Amino acid sequence: MVILITGASHTGKTLLAQKLLEKYKYPYLSIDHLKMGLIRSSNTKLTPLSEDSELTDYLWPIVREMIKTAIENNQNLIVEGCYIPFDWSKDFSEEYLLNIKYYLLVMSENYIKNHFDDIKKYASVIENRLDDDCSVDSVLEDNKKMLKLAQKHDIDYLLINDKYEINIDL
């Protein structure tokens, strides 16, 4: 089984991946780690400040083929990051899709406004964010954009509204 976890920045993708690793013992791949490895090794001209669309166009073909390889080898894998395109499923045949679960995390406007201090507090719970310029406005904007895109592409999403509770049973 391959589990894809995506969403806007600060929605808890990495924390969810870590919890699933601990619960199910599935390894996970952080697309951010892949991105930084490719950038730091000079295997791309892209930078951490490149547009998300450019990074997605560069990283997704690599991640997509890693997912196929994991499925072909009957291996479990969690992949988390914001560089998973909304039309990701078009890249897989039905046989592959039967082995992939997709989760898009979206925080409601209500949750963000009422829990922004918690969002900031937990921003570095799994990884150190060296330059975290997160603001209420940026988190609101990012999540509103994700919600619109999910609805446009008719993609299921997990809405974080009153409390931050995500329970995924495989």
The pLDDT of residue 59 is 98
The pLDDT of residue 124 is 58
Ranges of residues in the chain with a pLDDT under 70 are: 123-132
Helix (H) or strand (E) holding 140: helix 136-152
Contact 168, 16 (CB under 8 A): yes
Sign of CA dihedral 127, 50, 111, 24: negative
- 78-119 pLDDT, tens digit per residue, is 999 999 999 999 999 999 999 999 999 999 999 999 999 888
pTM: 0.91
* Rg of the chain in Å (alpha carbons): 16
Say which residue the tokens 């690599």 belong to. Answer: 62
The pLDDT of residue 170 is 81
The pLDDT of residue 132 is 60
The pLDDT of residue 126 is 57
Q: How far is CA 122 from the centre of its chain?
A: 16
CA–CA separation, 163 and 165 (whole Å)? 6
In terms of DSSP bridges, do strands 77-80 and 158-160 run parallel, antiparallel, or are they unpaired? Answer: unpaired
Longest dimension (CA), the chain: 44
